[in-house]
């Protein structure tokens, strides 16, 4: 993890995570839910998005 990303990293406790992604398309956002609260996260570092896409692609 690079230093810039390390400064931006925060731990978030959630009950559900929705990642709208496929093997061919990176997500525009990630949704999380805790109780009745939903949050959306945008603008991911490109390298992190590609790593997530590779991981999810290996599950199919």
Question: For residue 38, what is the enclosing H or E element?
Answer: strand 37-41
pLDDT at residue 18, as a whole number = 84
Say how many domains are in the chain: 1
Q: Has residue 18 been placed in a domain?
A: yes
Question: For residue 32, what is the enclosing H or E element?
Answer: strand 30-34
Q: Has residue 2 been placed in a domain?
A: no
Q: Has residue 34 been placed in a domain?
A: yes
What confidence tens digit (pLDDT) does each residue in 1-60 have? 455 555 556 677 789 988 887 667 777 888 889 999 998 988 877 787 778 777 777 876
Q: Has residue 4 been placed in a domain?
A: no
The residue segments making up the domain with residue 39 are 10-57
Which residues, 6+ apart, have CB-to-CB distance to 35 below 8 Å? 15
Q: Has residue 45 been placed in a domain?
A: yes
Using CA of residue 43, residue 2, residue 54, residue 17, what is the dihedral sign? negative
pLDDT at residue 42, as a whole number = 85
Q: Has residue 3 been placed in a domain?
A: no
């Amino acid at each position: 993890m690079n230093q810039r990303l390390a400064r931006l990293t925060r731990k978030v406790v959630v009950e559900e995570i929705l990642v709208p992604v496929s093997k061919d398309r990176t997500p525009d956002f990630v949704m999380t839910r805790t109780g009745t609260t939903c949050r959306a996260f945008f603008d991911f570092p490109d390298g992190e998005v590609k790593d997530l896409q590779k991981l999810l692609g290996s599950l199919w």
